[in-house]
Amino acid sequence: MQVICLEEEAFYTLIDKVVDRVKGKNNIQEDKWVSGEEAMHKLRITSKTTLQKLRDTGAIRFTQPEKKIILYDTDSIESYLNKHAHNAL
């Protein structure tokens, strides 16, 4: 039996690529608007306060169709992550 070890970041990158490939093969479209929990998962954050700070500063787009329902724009989340990405030297 062979064991393969990956760093956490490499593991999540691999998982994201696998999910993207499966979605592409099965023609699955992602929702434009996602819940706070899904937004936190995409951003890899665990604090609702951090999510609210991103919302309050305009770093990510959101909509509030009802008083207690806040949805986040997946395109703006991707844009935010890409904006803060650093290239390896």
Task: Give domain status of residue 43, yes or no.
Answer: yes
**Segment 48-64, tens digit of pLDDT:** 999 999 999 999 999 99
Task: Give domain status of residue 50, yes or no.
Answer: yes
Task: Give domain status of residue 39, yes or no.
Answer: yes
CA 36 to mean position of chain CA atoms: 11
Task: Give domain status of residue 67, yes or no.
Answer: yes
- Contact (CB, 8 A) for 39 and 54: no
Structural domain of 73: 29-89
Check whether 29 has a pLDDT greater than 70: no
Residues 87, 57: Cα–Cα separation, whole Å: 25
Check whether 26 has a pLDDT greater than 80: no
pLDDT of residue 75: 93
Coil, strand, or helix at residue 26? coil
- Region 21-46: what's the mean pLDDT? 85
Task: Give domain status of residue 20, yes or no.
Answer: no
Average pLDDT over the chain, rounded to an integer: 88
pTM for the model: 0.64
- What total of structural domains would you count in the chain? 1
Give 40's contacts (C-beta < 8 A, 6+ positions apart): 46, 47, 48, 51
Residues 74, 85: Cα–Cα separation, whole Å: 17
pLDDT band at 27 (very low <50, low <70, confident <90, very high): low
